[in-house]
Amino acid sequence: MNFDEFKKEFALLGDGFKTADLDRFNKQLIKRGEDVEFLAEHILTEKNYHRTFFQVSLAGCKGIEAKFAFIEKHFDKLQDWWHVDQLSQFVDKELTFAFGYEKAKEYIEHPHPFARRWGYVLFMPSLVKEKEAAEKLFPLFKDDDAYYVQMAEAWLLSYLGIYAPEETLAYLQTCPLQYNIAGKAIQKICDSYRVSPEWKEKFRQARTCYK
């Protein structure tokens, strides 16, 4: 398959297609063993191709090391939050906490903000449930000037608030992060239906240490 052939097939999706439609299209490409590397030069201008490029390419990578090497090679192609957040769907079945943790320690120091976001997002939704995840993950959080990195940190902290509320509350009570991150995390925790009213009140009270 070349780019022109791809465009013709892609056009059959029609206007206003949904993610489920695109996933069915991508799975057909995967089943046929198509190589879509030719999309790399187009996905920043044609954002509709972005999911196909990563979903199909990552499906063709053998093993989690190869999948992460591919992602790292194309960090420059992650140009918004959705481009990052969708990646978890394509690696989740093979990713272990130990592997992700070692990678995250590198990513959170990366100059590219969406690589740093990936360093936090990759733990969700499954790995954050691991035993002792909170103890391991707390040292990874740090103040960051990039909005989408801050939101990723808040998002991950909110997951920890669900699965390890006692440890997360104690962590937030030490005021370790700027309020842009901690306050948003507390808001997300208090908005969650999986957190009890009693715990929500405790997290609300934790805001006082930031004022």
Which residue carries 């990723």 as its tokens? Answer: 152
Could you give the residue ranges of the DSSP H alpha helices within 122-196? 133-137, 147-163, 165-172, 179-191
Please write the tens of the pLDDT for every residue from 78-111: 989 988 999 999 998 899 999 999 999 999 999 9
In the chain, % of residues over pLDDT 70: 100
Tokens of 34: 């198509």
Euclidean distance between CA atoms 149 and 115, whole angstroms: 9
**Contact assessment for residue 122 and residue 104, using Cβ atoms and an 8 Å cutoff:** yes
Q: b vs e for 19-32, b when ≥16 Cβ sit within 10 Å of the residue's Cβ?
A: eeebeebbeebbee
Please tell me the distance from the alpha carbon of residue 103 to that of residue 87, in angstroms, as a whole number. Answer: 14
- The answer to whether the predicted template modeling score (pTM) of the entire model surpasses 0.75 is yes
Report the alpha-carbon distance of residue 196 to residue 185 in Å, rounded.
Answer: 16
* pLDDT tier at 135, thresholds 50, 70, 90: very high
pLDDT of residue 146: 97
Each residue of 195-205: pLDDT tens digit?
999 999 999 99
Confidence band, pLDDT 50/70/90 cuts, at residue 48: very high
Query: Cα–Cα distance between 34 and 2 in angstroms, integer?
Result: 10
State whether the Cα torsion 153-156-162-167 is positive or negative: negative
Residue 210 has pLDDT above 80, yes or no: no
Half-sphere exposure of 151 (CA within 13 A, CB side): 10
- Taking a C-beta distance cutoff of 8 angstroms, is the pair 134, 169 a contact? no
Rounded-to-integer distance, Cα 101 and Cα 98, Å: 5
